[in-house]
Structure 1
Amino acid sequence: MSLALTLCLVTVLLLAAFGTPVSFSMIIGAIVYLAVSGQDLALAGEQIIQGFYNSFILLAVPLFIAAANIMNAGSITDRLLQFCVAMVGHFRGGLGHVNIVSSLIFSGMSGSAVADAAGVGRVIINMMTKDGRYPPSYAAAITAASATIGPIIPPSIPMVIYALVSDTSVGYLFIAGLVPGLLMGVVLMGLNAYMATKMDIPKEPRTPMKDIPRITFRALPTLMMPAILLFGIYGGITTPTEAAAVAAAYALILAVAYRSISFKQLYMALKESAYSSASVGLVIGSALIFNYIVATENVPTAIAEMITAADLSPLQFLLIVNLIYLGLGFLLDATTVILVIVPLFVPACRELGIDLVHFGVVTIVNLMIGLITPPYGVLLFVINGTTKIPLAGIIKQVIPFIFVLLAALFIMILFPDLILSMPRLMGYQG
């Protein structure tokens, strides 16, 4: 490791330790690297500009964020929840199942775990805790756990970013997330049924059969969004970025058609989307500079050669990398890991013959689990901030959900066909 790279990393770590945002720490660390190595400091700005200019796919990120915020501002989520209650609300632990199923459906519209937790999650927590049905900490924990499915079922903002750094097809990544997302939903519902029995949660009344067609019809336009997006992408009608624009426009049309969003609410939704997009953009911009440094120092090649020399099997490599991801999940957000750490492993995947679509989905599932892993679990803080439910109670209740999600992740690592079967049906040759 060169002196310049060492000083760069020390700068980043020190600034982060003092509470500086990771994106600013990385930008300052990159400037230190350029200065010490005698390179033009303007390279930092050049890498950011060229990176954004050459990455049309990144436009999908603010568009998906806008779509999620518009849906949360209107009554779209209310219709979705009524449909989920009619379908699974009468089973043991019914409102917990509603929580999970609503996340499965909402994830097909937003691509964001935080949007799921802050939008649908806030409403369903109120439903679960009304009249003391469920302990508030349990309702918050299952909401956080189910929100991790958001970026697995297509569309997915993290998958868009992973496609950028790995040169993998966004379309195949999207379709590859379907089965893993459903698997995560199944294991969460299984645990919820067990916990509801253990806590002796009474069953909810069954929705009358005569009301189900009406409830389904009211929710149908909302349920159609994932189908429209997937048909557009896989029918060759839209690119993933154009599909994101369709998602934002469709969400706005639904909100206006339902007369559920005011101009003030729309303004606030777009304002929040701008803030969130700028925050993600800062992380991406800092990672673009960092990736230039990593490439200049030939770090990915060195790691690939080290792994080759260690004679690791693909399975051993995947297990080691996933342990690293779990460790990083305690400290870093998913976007930073995808942009900075994942590119280090991509050459080794190619060397070992590991499919990059399989690797990408496994990576994102792992990093989503990191969103509910203390101490940095972002979803835990989001739910704590929106509901004021004590964080200590949420952490205690979320631990069993972390274990079942890790079990699902292990199954995905062992059986790549679970992830690759759907892309192969769509013509993927991997």
Structure 2
Amino acid sequence: MMTLIIAIGLIFLLMALRIPVAVAIGLAAMAAVTAEMGLRVFPVSAQVMVNGVNSFVLIAAPFFMLAGEIMNRGGLTKRIFRLANALVGSLPGGLAQVNVLASMLFAGMTGSAISDAVGLGTMEIRAMKERGYDPKFAGSITAASSIIGPMIPPSVPIVIYGALAGASIGSLFLAGIVPGILMGGALMAAIVIYDRMGLCPREARPPRSELVAALSQALPSLALPVIVVGGIYSGVTTPTEAAIIASAYAALLALLYRDLSVRDFWPILVQVASATGALFLIVASTALLGWIVTRSGVMIEVALWLSGAVESQTQLLLIITALCLVVGLFMEPIAALVLLVPILLPAVKILQIDLVHFGIVMILALMIGLLTPPVGLILFIVARIAEVSVAQLVRGVLPFLLVLIGVLILIIVFPSIIMALPRIAYGLPPFG
């Protein structure tokens, strides 16, 4: 136990020294292994870390990242933004409403909050500033709407959670759709309040011909999530095969639209390979730390304590959510996911909480951490794009953050919101 406490303390010390989180976790875990096994640290660490990433399901993650990067580098952002503007641009809130709907549509292409913030966010903030929106407000709604990305399939965090928990990727993908729509709807409702306060310039209603033209341009791209979810749900493809098909489909669209040339794919592949290396290093390092946690017996103690301390599934999920929100203040979501899932899973199983319900709740709670300082990566990305300070952006994001936490509590208290689609799709009885 003492070794584990020292390892966790070392992680936070290294992170405070701005050591990358994957390296910090890996070094701390190896230090803990060394304390127990001496010179055997290297063969043991290598074996555990390799086993941590030796998963067929995990191979889906880089291919979904590749599909998202191809879409992001091509002209998808312009077509999605144009369609969203044609659909909701004339509603109260104007381009702010467009911002949210575009993020919801874009989520079905990339499933990445960072891709949304960098690619679509740059276009959205520029357009909003040109129409007279306050840069702080433009940045705030862009940051808040970007975390919808990992909820609506395809989603890299969902793939990683599914691999860790042994949960159905197809069910998880279906389960994320309604919460993602709820997040977008709640943000759009909040924008109406801002509009009533006179903070949102009104936009003219576009002609019907613009809607038809925008839809015809965006429709082939919108088919990507249908292909992914439909392939997995029907049993025609595994999640990994669906990810490969998504990448091939994205590349084909980019070439047909002439958004990218063959030469443009090399830097995309390099970028994705680099991101994949970082992602798998996090998974491998955290797997080693998880091995130390398992050997210490902490997981069993935590599971028994939690199962005895709470009286219902809802109480446990609320406790786990609070833990994830706190951890999200200091740790990147993927690293936190890989670290916490093995620790919390025994307690979740003892109280017979559905793994799909638990996964969606946990992922959303950790994604909210992208909007909270001091580590909130989305805050720093969007602050730079909007040309405002991080402190200004934090104040602007706070109302939207409360709205998103409200959605999180809603899906905890009413699990049927999450479980409805998976149970309908797989012919299971109603939840509860």
Does the alignment reach a TM-score above 0.5? yes
Structure 1 residue 313: Cα displacement: 2.2
| Paired position in structure 1 for 2:115 | 115
Please say if residues 70 and 270 of structure 1, whose CA atoms lie closer than 8 Å, have aligned partners that are also in contact: no
| Paired position in structure 2 for 1:247 | 246
Which AA in structure 1 matches 2:92?
R
Deviations 1:177-231 (A, max 9, x none): 1111111011000001111221342321111113322221111111111111111
2:312 matches 1:313: yes
Matches within 5 A, 1:188-207: 188-207=187-206
Any idea what SS the aligned residue of 1:20 has?
coil
Which AA in structure 2 matches 1:49?
V
Report the CA distance shift for 1:307/1:211 in structure 2 as closer, same or farther (over 3 A): closer
| Paired position in structure 1 for 2:218 | 219
Identity of matched residues, %: 38
- More moved, 198-207 vs 325-334: 198-207
Report the CA distance shift for 1:122/1:295 in structure 2 as closer, same or farther (over 3 A): same
Deviations 1:115-165 (A, max 9, x none): 111111111111111142x11111111011111110101111111111122
Q: Distance in 2 between matches of 1:263 and 1:119?
A: 21
| Paired position in structure 2 for 1:25 | 24
Which AA in structure 1 matches 2:343?
L
Please say if residues 131 and 201 of structure 2, whose CA atoms lie closer than 8 Å, have aligned partners that are also in contact: no
Q: Distance in 1 between matches of 2:20 and 2:299?
A: 25
2:88 matches 1:88: yes
Q: Distance in 2 between matches of 1:258 and 1:388?
A: 32
2:399 matches 1:409: no
Q: Distance in 1 between matches of 2:199 and 2:382?
A: 25
| Paired position in structure 1 for 2:129 | 129
**Where does the alignment leave 5 or more consecutive residues of structure 2 unmatched?**
none
Which AA in structure 1 matches 2:153?
P
Please say if residues 94 and 200 of structure 2, whose CA atoms lie closer than 8 Å, have aligned partners that are also in contact: no
Q: Distance in 2 between matches of 1:16 and 1:211?
A: 50
| Paired position in structure 2 for 1:37 | 36
Any idea what SS the aligned residue of 2:6 has?
helix
Matches within 5 A, 1:151-300: 151-263=150-262, 265-300=264-299
Q: Distance in 2 between matches of 1:213 and 1:9?
A: 56
Q: Distance in 2 between matches of 1:32 and 1:211?
A: 61
Which AA in structure 2 matches 1:243?
A
2:48 matches 1:47: yes
Which AA in structure 2 matches 1:93?
G
Normalization by structure 2: what TM-score?
A: 0.95
| Paired position in structure 2 for 1:366 | 365
Q: Distance in 1 between matches of 2:9 and 2:389?
A: 35
Please say if residues 48 and 288 of structure 2, whose CA atoms lie closer than 8 Å, have aligned partners that are also in contact: yes
Report the CA distance shift for 1:25/1:202 in structure 2 as closer, same or farther (over 3 A): closer
Deviations 1:337-365 (A, max 9, x none): 11011221111011112111111101111
Which AA in structure 2 matches 1:57?
V
Which AA in structure 2 matches 1:283?
I
Matches within 5 A, 1:311-390: 311-390=310-389
**Where does the alignment leave 5 or more consecutive residues of structure 1 unmatched?**
none
Report the CA distance shift for 1:122/1:264 in structure 2 as closer, same or farther (over 3 A): farther
Structure 1 residue 268: Cα displacement: 2.5
Please say if residues 86 and 212 of structure 1, whose CA atoms lie closer than 8 Å, have aligned partners that are also in contact: yes
Q: Distance in 1 between matches of 2:131 and 2:99?
A: 17
Please say if residues 107 and 116 of structure 2, whose CA atoms lie closer than 8 Å, have aligned partners that are also in contact: yes
Any idea what SS the aligned residue of 1:312 has?
coil
Q: Distance in 2 between matches of 1:8 and 1:397?
A: 36
Normalization by structure 1: what TM-score?
A: 0.96
Any idea what SS the aligned residue of 1:410 has?
helix
Q: Distance in 1 between matches of 2:206 and 2:164?
A: 47
| Paired position in structure 2 for 1:60 | 60
Report the CA distance shift for 1:428/1:47 in structure 2 as closer, same or farther (over 3 A): farther
Q: Distance in 2 between matches of 1:309 and 1:86?
A: 53
Aligned residue pairs, count: 427
RMSD: 1.6
Runs of 4 or more off by more than 4 Å in structure 1?
Answer: none
Q: Distance in 2 between matches of 1:147 and 1:196?
A: 20
Q: Distance in 2 between matches of 1:394 and 1:125?
A: 13
- More moved, 84-93 vs 256-265: 256-265
Q: Distance in 2 between matches of 1:209 and 1:316?
A: 49
Which AA in structure 2 matches 1:69?
E
Any idea what SS the aligned residue of 2:371 has?
coil
Please say if residues 125 and 143 of structure 1, whose CA atoms lie closer than 8 Å, have aligned partners that are also in contact: yes
2:423 matches 1:424: yes
- More moved, 95-104 vs 269-278: 269-278
Please say if residues 8 and 32 of structure 1, whose CA atoms lie closer than 8 Å, have aligned partners that are also in contact: yes
Which AA in structure 2 matches 1:63?
F
- More moved, 182-191 vs 102-111: 102-111
| Paired position in structure 2 for 1:78 | 78
Q: Distance in 2 between matches of 1:215 and 1:9?
A: 51
Deviations 1:290-318 (A, max 9, x none): 11111111221111111233243222211
Please say if residues 175 and 360 of structure 2, whose CA atoms lie closer than 8 Å, have aligned partners that are also in contact: yes
